Amino acid sequence: MEICVKNLVKRYGNLVALDHFDLEINQGEVFGLLGPNGSGKTTAINCILALLKYDKGTIDVMGKPMSPDAYDTKRNIGVVMQNVAVFDELTVRENIDYFCGLYIKNKKERVGLVEEAIEFVGLADYRKFYPKKLSGGLLRRLNIACGIAHKPKLIIMDEPTVAVDPQSRNNILEGILKLNREGATVLYTSHYMEEVEQICSRIAIMDKGRIIASGTNSELKSLIRTGEKISIEVYGMDSKVIEFFKQLPGVNSVDYTDNKLTIKSQRGKNNLVSAVDYLKSNNIEFSRIYSELPTLNDVFLEITGKELRD
Amino acid sequence: MQVFKVYFQIIKNNIPILMIYITVFIGISMAFSTSGQSSDIAEFTESRAPVAFINDDNDSALIKGLMEYAGEKSTIVEVEDNQEALQDALFFREVEYIIRIPAGFTERFMNGEATALEKTSIPNSTSGIYMEMILNNFLNSANHYIKYVNGITQEELVAKVTTDLTKETEVVISDYESGVANGSGMAFFFNFAAYPVIIILIFGITSFMLVFNDTLKKQRTLCSPISHSRLSMETLLANLSFTVIVWAIMLTASFVMLGKELLSINGLLWAINLFIVAIVGLSISFLIGSLIKNKNAQSAVANTFTLGLAFLSGCFVPQSLLNEAVLSVGRFLPTYWYVRASDEIGKLKSFGWESLQPVIFSYLIQIGFAAALICIALVITRQVRSGSVRQA
């Protein structure tokens, strides 16, 4: 097991940031830690990296207890922080070389690794650029290169795609999967459920310092009652119509807000045709219709009663 | 040595600011050395005043001798012997001194009787005084021979007096056999040098600390396998190297400005004093670096603090000109003791234990200040470190 956290408690005064937090990550996984802002993801990561002292619990990384002086363990960890942490005074190449040099003493070996990292994040044309000359997306890529240049076995990424354009985001996500294919275990935190769904083999959902659900993407979705979500843009609908939809078989909830009708029903109950037939036969004007499977947001919503991005 | 390397990379980025201080220092020092040049006369050339002799006596050997002697020390000018011509010559500065030898002068002088030359000169003329001294020298010497050598002839008298007056005594200035000649001037130079040394160190070291102690970068470094002791060791080594470089640059500038005179024991003592104040600068920089959080604060604190130190300690204005209240405050500042040591070194002519004691005492006080400042900075750093980890 790469990371094993048991019963972790971290308090900031009266605020409980981590409340008996448990986490187990196996070797070779891309593990997603999903939760809204302030749910305790970064605190958990800082505790795992021994950057923060905690009040209770145990943390083992690569089978050994984690502590500030666990240098052998740290040698195998790569960290990509939420905020870009690079030196404005150094060029792209010098920055990667500096951070890689904290792990790899051999200069010859380091030269190869730095070049590989530059190619990996697609910064080959910006080697001699200073960070201030880079766009937000390129800066994020540099931030990632600084964290992974030494080829760590365990990579911890704390929201690496915040404020990144879609193209750079896709590059970053593809890069993470590539690192995983090359043998790295990845702990990935985000509040973007789509990203987590896209790349993570297992996911844990956090709220208020606790893991409230964990498993694979489908395991998490099977935890909730909703199996289908139908959304229809409808204009001028009265309460009688809403009542009709509530009577359809297996419907869990019906919501009509801002001309958007949302019908959530249990797994295996396909009510799309019935809904459209009813609207047509009653001459109710409608435009876009789409049916979708539940998202992790729905999982979070059903468990906590609030949206992931609240 | 990753931290060491990145340290000098950051310093490299700040070179333009640091160069401004070095240039200003050298510029001001050069201005002072030019305007404050000593007015001591290094060479002497005898001046020769234009003088006229009117001889109403006969052409005796005594008068010839006197005129010959006076002719060696002045330029004898022929002037017509009438009242108007003589006054014109004086008015137009053709002559500055007119000597009239009255009739019977030689006879009365040789008999030891009282007699005098008639002299006319431009009022307040220094040449007149000088000429008077020349005539007095000759006639007084001659008078002595007449008094004590019976039957001396005029020829013998002139020969003896001329020989006596041509004798010269060699004067060797032996005051500065040890120590330096321009001690106070050099001390002033070194007093001023404390300001650029301290401000350059503050700018350099705090620039590194601002960048390196940034929470995010610090966290990234702490995640790596580099130990805290190695991190501290590399930082300390880089700080010391930078301090030595700044000291060496300032010392080289001193050699350029002051020349070979620095190759003396005084020079060595000044160099040691400058190194100690550089260590004080390092500790001050470390303290400021652990307190400030951004570039604006760095500039404000560095300038205010260093100027305050320099003014209160006598780096710019000699301590002897500062009033007692300022000096009382200054005594609590390390630079006061630096300036004091520097002034003492400037006065040193001998290098025994007695004379060196005040200098060494000032050295030790500066070292004490440096140690105290480092301790305070370490306490603050520890508190800031634990605080920043909690906030992360």
Q: pLDDT digits over B155-167, tens only?
A: 999 999 988 888 8
Cα pseudo-dihedral B194, B197, B198, B199, rounded to 10: 120
Instruction: Pull the structure tokens for residue A308.
Output: 């992931």
The bridge status of strand A260-266 relative to strand A226-234 is: antiparallel
A309 touches B at CB < 8 Å: no
Predicted pLDDT of residue B262:
79
Are both A79 and A174 inside the same structural domain? yes
* Chain B environment of A77 (Cβ under 8 Å): 223
pLDDT tens figures, B310-329? 999 988 888 888 888 999 99
Domain assignment of residue A310, yes or no: no
B230 touches A at CB < 8 Å: no
Contact across the interface for B392 and A77, Cβ inside 8 Å? no
Which of A18-32, A233-247, B168-182 shows the highest mean pLDDT?
Answer: A18-32
The bridge status of strand B75-76 relative to strand B50-55 is: parallel
Sheet strands side by side (includes A77-80): A77-80, A154-158, A185-190, A30-34, A202-207, A210-215
Which domain, by its residues, includes A258? 226-304
Domain assignment of residue A309, yes or no: no
* Chain A environment of B389 (Cβ under 8 Å): 51-53
Please report, in angstroms and rounded to a whole number, the separation of the first and last CA atoms in chain B: 27
pLDDT tens figures, B107-161? 888 888 888 888 888 877 788 888 888 889 899 999 999 888 888 888 999 999 9
Are both A210 and A95 inside the same structural domain? yes
Single residue among A173, A198, A221 that ends a domain in this structure: A221
Question: Quick check: A60 and A4 in contact, CB under 8 A?
Answer: yes
CATH number, domain of A237, equals 3.30.70.100
Alpha helices in B74-153 (DSSP H): 83-91, 105-110, 126-148
A72 touches B at CB < 8 Å: yes
* Chain B environment of A99 (Cβ under 8 Å): 220, 224
Are both A110 and A233 inside the same structural domain? no
Let me know how long chain A is. 310
Whether the pLDDT of residue B388 is over 70: the answer is no
Gyration radius of chain A's alpha carbons: 23
CATH dotted code for B50-166:
3.40.1710.10
Predicted pLDDT of residue B386:
60
Whether the pLDDT of residue A76 is over 90: the answer is yes
Q: How far apart are CA B184 and CA B347, in angstroms?
A: 7
pLDDT tens figures, B209-252? 888 888 888 888 889 998 888 888 888 899 999 999 999 998 88
Q: How far apart are CA A16 and CA A38, in angstroms?
A: 11
Q: Mutation test of the interface with chain B: which of A55, A73, A87, choosing the one with the most B Cβ atoms within 10 A?
A: A87
Which of B5, B6, B223 lies closest to A49 in CB terms? B223
B166 touches A at CB < 8 Å: no
Domain assignment of residue A18, yes or no: yes
Are both A263 and A176 inside the same structural domain? no
B382 touches A at CB < 8 Å: no
DSSP-based three-state secondary structure for A146: helix
Are both A50 and A7 inside the same structural domain? yes
Are both A238 and A122 inside the same structural domain? no
Residue-range domain boundaries for chain B:
50-166, 182-391
Whether the pLDDT of residue B379 is over 90: the answer is no
Q: How far apart are CA B359 and CA B346, in angstroms?
A: 10
Residue of B97, B98, B104 whose CA lies nearest to B60: B104
Predicted pLDDT of residue B39:
47
Contact across the interface for B2 and A68, Cβ inside 8 Å? no
* Nearest-neighbour CA in chain B from A238: distance (Å): 52
User: If you average pLDDT over every residue of chain B, what do you get?
Assistant: 85
B2 touches A at CB < 8 Å: yes
pLDDT tens figures, B152-195? 888 999 999 988 888 877 766 555 445 566 677 788 888 888 99
pTM: 0.70
Side chain identity at B112, as an amino acid letter? G
Q: Mutation test of the interface with chain A: which of B208, B223, B228, choosing the one with the most A Cβ atoms within 10 A?
A: B223
Contact across the interface for B225 and A89, Cβ inside 8 Å? no
**How many whole angstroms from its chain centre is CA B265?**
16
Tell me how many residue pairs between chain A and chain B have CB atoms under 8 A apart.
70
Q: How far is CA B280 from CA A23, B121, B335, B364, B368, in A?
A: 51, 66, 8, 11, 9
Residue of A218, A305, A234, A307 whose CA lies nearest to A267: A218
Are both A117 and A259 inside the same structural domain? no
Which of A77, A81, A101 lies closest to B2 in CB terms? A101
Are both A214 and A69 inside the same structural domain? yes
Are both A29 and A93 inside the same structural domain? yes
* Nearest-neighbour CA in chain A from B299: distance (Å): 18
Phi, psi of A203, rounded to the nearest 5 degrees: -135, 140
- Crossing angle, helix B334-347 and helix B265-291, to 10 degrees? 170
* Nearest-neighbour CA in chain B from A117: distance (Å): 17
Cα pseudo-dihedral A26, A28, A34, A38, rounded to 10: 80
A86 touches B at CB < 8 Å: yes
> How would you label A41-77 residue by residue, b for 16+ Cβ within 10 Å and e otherwise?
bbbbbbbbbbbbebeebebbbbeeebeeebeebbbbb
Predicted pLDDT of residue B111:
87
Contact across the interface for B2 and A98, Cβ inside 8 Å? yes
Single residue among A170, A204, A221 that ends a domain in this structure: A221
ipTM: 0.81
Are both A53 and A171 inside the same structural domain? yes
Whether the pLDDT of residue B389 is over 50: the answer is no
- Crossing angle, helix B228-258 and helix B15-35, to 10 degrees? 30
Predicted pLDDT of residue A275:
82
Are both A66 and A170 inside the same structural domain? yes
CATH number, domain of A53, equals 3.40.50.300
Are both A154 and A36 inside the same structural domain? yes
pLDDT tens figures, A263-289? 888 876 677 888 888 888 888 888 888
The bridge status of strand B97-101 relative to strand B50-55 is: parallel
Q: How far is CA B201 from CA B146, B208, B277, in A?
A: 78, 11, 11
Sheet strands side by side (includes A64-65): A15-25, A3-12, A56-61, A64-65
> Residues with Cβ < 8 Å from A273, sequence gap 6 or more?
none
A130 touches B at CB < 8 Å: no
Single residue among A181, A199, A221 that ends a domain in this structure: A221
Q: How many domains does chain A have?
A: 2
* Nearest-neighbour CA in chain A from B30: distance (Å): 34
Domain assignment of residue A247, yes or no: yes
